[in-house]
Amino acid sequence: MALNMRRLSVLLIPLLLAAGCRNDSPSEEETFAWMQQTLAAHNGLRLQDLSPEYEILAQFTHHGCEAEYLAGRGDWASHVNLSEVDPNSVRIEMIGRAPWVVFKGRNSQHVTTYIDPTGKLPTYDSETGGFSLDSKEYAESFLKALKHAVMLCGGKPSTF
């Protein structure tokens, strides 16, 4: 009897430990899909005083941890390597009437490349980046999603 109880405990303990360690946080794909949907529906460009003919485009795509964001009329894009973002730098900042979720590169390294798809303006790199949203509530949720994506991509806090 004692031998059977010991065998049962050897089988049950690992199963109970595995059940207790289950991870319910969203996957990388789920996180990026939510970010894409949120930017498409709640982009902060809507808060700017733009002419009615101005079409607001907000396309967020990713390949692994490399994210690209095309906005405006498709007249600017940003490319971000999320694995190089300092997760502790992600915060909300009001710029004009729109709340922005902004971030910095780890150890002040350049993590964002700004591109003018029309070729009229030069491409440049920056140690900062951000996403505008149309409400504080969506900005707060997007902040959580962006931090989660950065952590899933291996982002680490700055050393100095």
Per-residue pLDDT tens over the stretch 32-53: 999 999 988 888 776 665 555 5
Neighbours of 17 (CB within 10 A): 9
Only one residue has tokens 């902060």, namely 44
pLDDT value, residue 118: 83
Residue 120 has pLDDT above 60, yes or no: yes
Domains in the chain, CATH or no CATH each: 28-152 (2.30.29)
| Whole-prediction pTM | 0.78
pLDDT value, residue 4: 55
- Residue 103 makes CB contacts below 8 A (sequence gap 6+) with 85, 86, 89, 90, 91, 111, 128, 129, 130, 146, 150
Rounded mean pLDDT of 119-124?
A: 90
Residue 93: pLDDT band by 50, 70, 90 thresholds?
very high
CA 104 to chain centroid, in Å, comes to 12
What pLDDT digit, counting tens, does each position of 23-32 carry? 688 999 999 9
